[in-house]
Amino acid sequence: SVSLLGGADAAPIVLDATPARVPTTRRYLMCEPRHFTVEYAINPWMDPTRPTDTSLAVAQWTALKETYERLGHQVEVIEPAPGLPDMVFSANSGTVIDGRVLGAKFRAPERAAEADHFRRWFLANGYQDVVMPEITNEAEGDFTWTGKYLLAGTGFRTDPRAHAEAQEVLGVPVISLNLVDPRYYHLDVALFVLTEDLVAYYPDAFSVGSQEVLRRLYPDAILATASDAACLGLNAVSDGRHVVLPVEATALGEQVAARGFEPVYVDISELRASGGGPKCCTMELRG
């Protein structure tokens, strides 16, 4: 903060550059990784020859869920289905804005059946406006709602034509962004939202033109380092004050702390073996 001297008798005027970061209570949908394994490879993180530890995945997921609950958030759960080892990544199965739901249509046949489990969950839980997409979209994997815009990734999973479909179904302005690095195959491993006007991202995950778009929209953005990105540090979840992120993403944690946020570290090493982090396990139910 900067102190300006007023008159001789005046109290110093303090200009604080860091706004108070006020959390808002969120509602999340999660899916226990009871059937978690890596049995196919649909992104460069996945190696089916390497054994996975399902009970460790469950323990890490439970700690993530308890972290949200400790922060005052409400967590709903959907029953995991056998034979769908990636169903833990609930963020990929729906985009919910103002109570309106756009479901998912997965690119990989291995994940296709997840979408209908979630569709049925929405219908059983009071959502009346549920639209299943015509065009491939992996929901919050590639769609990030800022409160103003739906930032929409494409390049590896979500079809660029799905951006127009999302705009039409959800009635929100969509900003298309091109992803170029296969390790960062979803938007939510390359960028996350801190507040309506502040995001953090890893520039090299985006095409040159998309980097320019991000600079125009978010001139004050937090730019993550290569090592923050490489531990899936950008797969973070913010409630406006707390930022839940992988324990290895320490430089990113320091950067968010310098902007007045509170980093909350979680260990998600086992889920990272499938290319996922905290955000992938967390679908936000807005309205």
188 lies in the binding site for ligand ARG (CB under 6 A): yes
Q: Which is nearer to ligand ARG, 91 or 249 (CB)?
A: 91
Q: What is the contact mask toward ligand ARG in residues 145 to 184, using x (rule: CB under 6 A)? A: ----------------------------------------
Taking the least distance from each CB to ligand ARG, the nearer of 80 and 275 is 275
Q: Does residue 42 belong to the site contacting ligand ARG (CB under 6 A)?
A: yes
SS (H, E, C) the chain: CEEECCCCCCCCEEECCCCCCCCCCCEEEECCCCCCCCCCCCCCCCCCCCCCCHHHHHHHHHHHHHHHHHCCCEEEECCCCCCCCCCCCHHHHEEEECCEEEECECCCHHHCCHHHHHHHHHHHCCCCCEECCCCCECHHHCEEECCCCEEEEECCCCCCHHHHHHHHHHCCCEEEEEECCHHHCCHHHCEEEEECCEEEECHHHECHHHHHHHHHHCCCCEECCHHHHHCCCCCCEECCCEEEEECCCHHHHHHHHHCCCEEEEECCHHHHCCCCCCHHHCEEECC
Told to check if 92 binds ligand ARG by CB under 6 A, we report yes
The residue count for binding ligand ARG (CB under 6 A) is 16
Among 80, 246, 253, 276, binds ligand ARG (CB under 6 A): 276
| Under rule CB under 6 A, residue 278 binds ligand ARG | no
Catalytic residues: 186, 280
Confirm or reject binding of residue 229 to ligand ARG (CB under 6 A): no
Name which of 21 and 26 has its Cβ closer to ligand ARG.
26
Is 250 near ligand ARG (CB under 6 A)? no
Nearer to ligand ARG, 185 or 261 (CB): 185
Q: Which residues contact 134 (CB under 8 A, 6 or more apart)?
A: 105, 165
Q: Which is nearer to ligand ARG, 67 or 92 (CB)?
A: 92
Q: Is 95 in the site for ligand ARG (CB under 6 A)?
A: no
Give the nearest distance from C-beta 62 to ligand ARG in angstroms. Answer: 18
91 binds ligand ARG (CB under 6 A): yes
Chain residues binding ligand ARG by CB under 6 A are: 42-43, 46, 86, 89, 91-92, 111, 141, 186, 188-189, 274-276, 280
